[in-house]
Chains A and B, each alone.
Chain A
Amino acid sequence: MSQQGYVATPPYSQAQAGMGAYPAGSNQHMYGHYGGPPQASFPPPAGSMKSPVSSSTPGMPPPPNHYNPNGQQNGSHPQSYPGAPAAPGAPAAPGAPAAPGAPAGYGHPLQSQYPSMGQQAPPPAKQLTNQMGAMNLGNYAPGPMQSPPTASPIAPQPFQPTPHPAMGQPPGPLGPHHPWGAGQCLVLQWQDLTCLVWACPTLDHLPQDPGASSSLVPDPIAQQATPRNQVSLGARWQGPDGRAQMAGGQMAGPQPGFPGAFPGPGMAGPPQKKLDPDSIPSPTQVIEDDQAKWGGQLYATNVRGQVPPLVTTDFTVQDQGNASPRFMRCTTSCLPCTADLAKQCQVPLAVIIKPFASLPENETPLYVVNHGETGPIRCNRCKAYMCPFMQFLDGGRRYQCGFCSCVNEVPVFYFQHLDHMGRRMDFYERPELSLGSYEFAATLDYCKNNKLANPPAYIFMIDVSFTNIKSGLVKLVCDELKTLLDNLPREDGAESSAVRVGFVTYNKILHFYNVKSSLAQPQMMVVSDTVEMFVPLLDGFLVSYPESRAVIHNLLEQIPDMFADTNESETVFAPVVQAGLEALKAAESSGKLFIFHSSIPTAEAPGKLKNRDDKKLINTDKEKTLFHPVKGLYEQLTKECVAQGCSVDLFLFPSQYLDLATMGHVPAHTGGSVYKYSNFQVETDGEHFLRDLRKDVEKSMGFDAIMRVRTSTGFRATDFLGAVYMSNTTDVEMAAVDCDKAVTVELKHDDALSEETGAFLQCALLYTTVGGQRRLRVHNLSLNCSAQLPELFKSCETDSLINFFAKTAYRAVLNQPLKSVKEILVSQTAHMLACYRKNCASPSAASQ
């Protein structure tokens, strides 16, 4: 492990392609921007950059890899497409092979264009794997993740069967890729990187005009990927140029994580004119190596600043004082001591937190600690929760907070003597003293309005307009729900789920159903007032499934028939969300809406959208407006949803433009997900959709969550990225958070950090369980600090880095032209690698 640092990916060569795309000027500019050093030191790279353009090399095999893959790291990287949660049915049909098993969710085909790569250097070495996979913290769901790696090292290639002649030209290559074939569906999962990258906005867009859109989407990623690669190569590598984009394309695909470790010895190699493709570390190989090293092993979290195994690796975590990497992962587990150093190395400091990561069965679930009526013990000054970083003093009468250094009295009931090591005698009996992750039972003070929380509710809202009826979707959903509702998430150990369910159908107007258990027949209540939505009933709308099973079945049986001869094709959308929200408000509970929607909401109602897909804007400065949600109502709606703890999951079945940029706004900020199945057909996409639905309904969740990240002095959390809502700068509000959602937190220095004490992070998440209990989930992580860059680079973790880059890039896409987003990614990566080479790699001969 120790080796892991930075991964140099083979793809460099390809990466260049992207460069080609850029106007020469821009390249230059970038370089200039970075400052002298890089240029000076790596003249070659510079050259290479340019050259690629011209060369577009068909022939360009990747440069010889300088890297010798050494040992573990540099070998060819197996491409694990781990991440690829690509939906099975996924679009990527082409890609599909890569991740056959992977259920996951992004349907995004990453199709990249890897073409050249493929051809030229089919070998693993070339592949840029898509980092996406890596992005996930912790391991991916073990199942899917793993399998792919083996299967598909080369997977990406398939995407592009034909090498693109014009490698260099983005447009060209891109075009073909267009993922959106009919029947493809896209699943966006906010949490994943991927998703981020693919970002909703593009989604809509894409389908419509593949050509154009494709460029939009993939590009950003591609870019980032490429640059990174290049750089990692040591910047020195020249050749492979044009392919960069292709690489990008791949990224999209399952991106093999760069397994982080690359800095093999090879790094040291002196710059060479030509890279030896074979010596370029292969992500696939790195992943395989890591798997070989850690697979099935026990990873104990007792050491500060350890670099965890790759996310693709199947390992077992034993919590010994730090949160499992499944919950928290840092871009580097060794922070630079000073802000200057951080600036110099250009390695972003961030921690990716996935508070509800699902744990494999052989790992212990979190303990719940109850400190009684007074609530959890917290530092008086910074309010950090009791954790292993608290130092007990004075024989146990006082403790010093590890975060703010404040000395606090130990409450009487909590007093315990210390042993000879200065540890409390009950160290092993109290999870909050010995473990990195645990939960507190929250008291009334932690509840909304000082009222105990109610169990959450799931509301199923089905669009019964003509399209959905005709496609058979309504029947499919209704049939599925009959069995699916038995599997609602439940509290550990609970006999049945406390989650209540409710049903709404709608087209231009909404139909609520009273499914009270005492009724012989369900009752339908029609609300046509979409301007001021309200919930027509309370009692009987949200019911316990087991109690009302008969009535619900009766209802689900009838819904498809009731609307069988509908000819209503207009729909509303905002009022539907509003209705769900109002229902939850009325029931005073949090919950989740599952909306099965077919078309752009054009009916006369609030939130009416119009087709604003304008192809002319593509590749212009105004392109970003396509990704922007329509202002106003939806933002307000989002705010209200978050306040109520109402998460929105969208299942979309469009046959044309939908303005997903806007419709996706609510899910994007309420911890929801968007699934998209273009031109849905039951025969071809049904199973895919059902699998997504099942997973979505069954997965464990927390509701109405507020997260706060506390840090020890010297640095702090400054930015939060993810499907979250921020009403101020510190509290991360999430209407819901599930096992797939992650928040990327950017860290910045306030002051110098000490190597000796290291750095601590505590993430506290207050939420409501599916059983309606209010809890605090606490994850603690300690990091090393170092003034030595090599230390830092050694501890870098590519999985997390890519996650960070992707998320920031996604955000940037909304504000800047794609071109500049790409440029920034490239330059930052280049700079980072340059720094590495300068400070760490130079002593030995740089092999690449």
Chain B
Amino acid sequence: MTTYQEFIQQNEDRDGVRFSWNLWPSSRLEATRLVVPVSCLFTPLKERPDLPPVQYEPVVCGRANCKAVLNPLCQVDFRAKIWACNFCFQRNPFPPSYAGISDVNQPAELMPQFSTIEYIVQRGPATPLIFLYVVDSCLEEEDLQALRESLQMSLSLLPPNALVGLITFGRMVQVHELSCEGIAKSYVFRGTKELSSKQIQEMLGLMKPAASGQQGRPIAPQDAAASCRFLQPVHRVDMNLTDLLGELQRDPWPVPQGKRPLRSTGVALSVAVGLLEGAFPNTGARVMLFTGGPPTQGPGMVVGDELKTPIRSWHDIQKDNARHLKKATKYFDALANRTADNGHSVDIYACALDQTGLLEMKCLSNLTGGHIVMGDSFNTSLFKQTFQRVFSKDFNGEFRMAFGGTLEVKTSRELKVSGAIGPCVSLNAKGPSVSENEMGIGGTSQWKVCSLNPSTTLALFFEVVNQHNAPIPQGGRGAIQFVTQYQHSNTQRRIRVTTVARNWADAQSQIQHIESSFDQEASAVLMARLGVFRAESEEGPDVLRWLDRQLIRLCQKFGQFNKDDPTSFKLSESLSLYPQFMFHLRRSPFLQVFNNSPDESSYYRHHFVRQDLTQSLIMVQPMLYSYSFHGPPEPVLLDSGSILPDRILLMDTFFQLVIYHGETIAQWRKAGYQEMAEYENFKQLLQAPLDDAQEILQTRFPMPRYVDTDHGGSQARFLLSKVNPSQTHNNSNGWTQEPGAPILTDDVSLQVFMDHLKKLAVSSST
């Protein structure tokens, strides 16, 4: 019997699924007592180089409200050519094309190793991908130049047949016509006026074809002809567009002293959305917004143009002092929903030193699966490389992006799905497997994910509905099937089906087993997602209290202790790290807004709710590696005690990559020992973390902020704010011989946190 560790790993590699519990409690009551719900992190498009897609349609169950896909868990009668759906138990005949099926001649989807399988299906004409650049022209010349170059460069990265369009905005919004010869032509919209999609299309001269867009039939010929003025195949307008971008001027309207430039981001986005909505509904399309500041006029205005009024801070928001917040959020929400309805996605590349209104605009990306990238300037490698990485390709030379995905979840009868948390919107598909208890985005068994990439991960929460008095026979298994339909970047429609099953366990008799099937990493991330989801709508302290209560209940349930004796408290191995994750989660920027701007919070949360487990875990509890002469590089505790003079530390928080040279090392480096031949080993030591960092930089999206600092350097704060403050100015006095660096903070340390936790867990009063 393999360990749960291995089992979990295997499952993740094969299916991209990690459950909080790998044995499921067999009744609703027991499930609720487990505190952490039965739930999973699911990565629909996990890269599977070893999984060649099959070129036929999936076989689905004939029951109208089931439609589950044939999978290895189904009972098959090879002789009768009949299979039984493992979700609804309907018996279905195989289609004629499966006539040759037999024990030894099984289709791939029946083989156990194909619990995840991908089908290529023919549905409608292939439509090219669409990239619509929405570019802010109120940038500093230097920034604009950098952006121009990045955009021009990106043209060469696009698939040649992709359609590309350009909208620029400042005080006005200009939609550039790309097809015209000679004189450059653009349609201009006033930046202050909210327009309906119909008005936009009329003004652009795009009259709707009579046919309704319901069918998702993209591009009727006349349709394409009409809109092609604005969206052209890259290969045809490459030169034209390059010139256009080259001539892109800063917004010509003068900006008076003491004012912000007028930026019509809201209208620009609505024009972009309106343009695509009319011409290309339900086609893979990315609206890529490049902005260098907050929207300052028109619908979606985040801050007025007076520089003396600063952009809202958390303080203002808590005081209900953010004038435009509600209106702007509402506006962008509505826009985001429209975009999602049409299956398009919106990326936001916001590069500015101040906030740019991500808080208000985040929905655009959150609901549509678009990226958010936040940087200081377009003229940084952070932006340039991140942007380039959007167009990165996989081992097949295909773009790591997929569009118009829908994720459908089917469950066996004992389970229902309560909701999802991730970059998705509900499709409002009611069905037998939809739970009434909502967690996250619930009330549906289907979600739309407008844009996906291989790391896009959704958290799915389930409810066990089996009644306590209706025991499940020993050895019974619960099954869940994930059906993901999407448009591949090569424009094929594909369907990926993942079917998983777990054993049921009786919580009363098999609590040990259940405990050991606990996946604390997945659980930490899942609980964190729930926390972040709540934090979007609730006050920060409430969320923390809720998390604490959950943690205490979990400890009470699974800890071993004597009543009212904190010292006797013990947790089994499978839960041992969980409290520590919670400790760091409480301190993380996802739940703490102190020291973060609203934009930063939105940005962090945006990434947290879409990254896969590993990345999420790094975000919750950053990784710390130590490099020294004493041995090979090793991961060390994220603790102030790890900060030693003769160490180099590499911290990865996902968003930042910090290399910290201890006091001694920094002095050596300053003295230039690494230049001397006899200190070659020192040079190597210095180089080692750099190489490791480079490796991370290469692969991560978005590119992290890279910080190289020394002991006492101002940027060391990135490290100091993350580590567990086991030594602070309050307690370090008597402990000078203790290794490590005291942190100037009043935050509680992990030790204090654990002490309180034990006390509360064992207390009979709670």
Contacts and interface: CB of A to CB of B under 8 A. Distances in A.
Interface of A: 509, 512, 519, 521-529, 532, 534, 536-540, 555, 558, 562
A527 B188 contact: yes
B203 A521 contact: no
Contacts of A521: 182-184
A536 B183 contact: no
A524 B185 contact: yes
B189 A558 contact: no
Given A536-B172, A537-B172, A558 B182 contact: yes
A528 B185 contact: no
A389 B45 CA distance: 95
A525 B193 contact: no
B658 interface: no
Contact of B183 (A523, A534, A538): A523
Contact of A539 (B174, B183, B195, B252): B252
A512 B187 CA distance: 10
B148 to A, nearest CB: 16
A293 B182 CA distance: 64
Contact of B187 (A522, A526, A555): A526
A524 B184 contact: yes
Contacts of A526: 185-188
A529 B190 contact: yes
Contacts of B172: 534, 536-537
Contacts, number: 59
Contacts of A523: 183-186
Contacts of A562: 182-183
Interface in B135-194: 172, 174, 182-190, 193
B186 A525 contact: yes
Nearest to B189: A529
Contacts of A555: 183
Give chain A's interface secondary structure class: loop
Contacts of A528: 187, 202-205
A509 B189 CA distance: 12
Contacts of B203: 509, 528-529
12 contacts: A521-B184, A525-B174, A527-B187, A529-B189, A529-B193, A529-B203, A532-B190, A534-B172, A536-B172, A539-B252, A539-B253, A562-B183
Contacts of B253: 538-539
Nearest to A525: B188
Given A536-B172, A539-B253, 18 more contacts: A509-B203, A523-B183, A523-B185, A524-B183, A524-B186, A525-B185, A525-B186, A525-B187, A526-B187, A527-B188, A527-B189, A528-B205, A534-B172, A534-B190, A537-B172, A538-B254, A558-B182, A558-B183
Interface in B328-366: none
A528 B200 CA distance: 9
Nearest to A522: B183
A558 B180 CA distance: 13
A622 to B, nearest CB: 38
A519 B252 CA distance: 14
A816 B557 CA distance: 98
Contacts of A519: 247
Contacts of B195: 529
Nearest to A561: B182
A538 B182 CA distance: 22
A536 B184 contact: no
B172 to A, nearest CB: 5
Contacts of B182: 521, 558, 562
Q: Which 8 pairs from chain A and chain B are nearest by CB?
A: A528-B203, A539-B252, A536-B188, A526-B187, A524-B185, A523-B184, A534-B190, A525-B188
Contacts of B247: 519
Contacts of B187: 525-528
Interface in B181-230: 182-190, 193, 195, 202-205
B252 A538 contact: yes
Contacts of A558: 182-183
Indicate the member of A512, A519, A539 with the most B CB atoms within 10 Å.
Answer: A539
Interface in B233-255: 247, 252-254
A80 to B, nearest CB: 51
A537 B189 CA distance: 11
A522 B183 CA distance: 6
Nearest to B244: A523
Nearest to B205: A528
A584 to B, nearest CB: 15
Contacts of A536: 172, 174, 188
A521 B180 CA distance: 13
A537 B252 contact: yes
A521 B186 CA distance: 13
Indicate the member of A524, A532, A555, A558 with the most B CB atoms within 10 Å.
Answer: A524
A519 B204 CA distance: 25
Contacts of B204: 528
A769 B172 CA distance: 32
A169 to B, nearest CB: 54
Contacts of B190: 529, 532, 534
A519 B182 CA distance: 13
A527 B203 CA distance: 8
A572 to B, nearest CB: 13
A439 B526 CA distance: 83
B137 to A, nearest CB: 11
A539 B204 CA distance: 24
Contacts of A538: 252-254
Indicate the member of A527, A537, A539 with the most B CB atoms within 10 Å.
Answer: A537
A675 B119 CA distance: 72
Contacts of A534: 172, 190
A532 B298 CA distance: 14
Contacts of B205: 528
A174 B174 CA distance: 56
Indicate the member of A519, A525, A526, A532 with the most B CB atoms within 10 Å.
Answer: A526
A524 B183 CA distance: 7
Interface in B248-268: 252-254
Contacts of B188: 512, 525-527, 536-537
A277 B252 CA distance: 73
Nearest to B250: A539
A540 B254 CA distance: 13
A521 B174 CA distance: 17
Contacts of A512: 188
Contacts of B202: 528
A534 to B, nearest CB: 5
A512 B253 CA distance: 15
B390 to A, nearest CB: 29
Contacts of A525: 174, 185-188
A562 B177 CA distance: 14
A529 B195 CA distance: 10
A513 to B, nearest CB: 8
A562 B184 CA distance: 11
A519 B203 CA distance: 26
Contacts of A509: 203
A72 B253 CA distance: 66
B274 to A, nearest CB: 13
Contacts of A539: 252-253
A521 B252 CA distance: 17
Indicate the member of A523, A540, A555 with the most B CB atoms within 10 Å.
Answer: A523
A358 to B, nearest CB: 38
Nearest to A534: B190
A440 B514 CA distance: 99
Nearest to A511: B185
Contacts of B174: 525, 536
A800 B665 CA distance: 101
Nearest to B186: A525
A532 B193 contact: yes
A538 B183 CA distance: 18
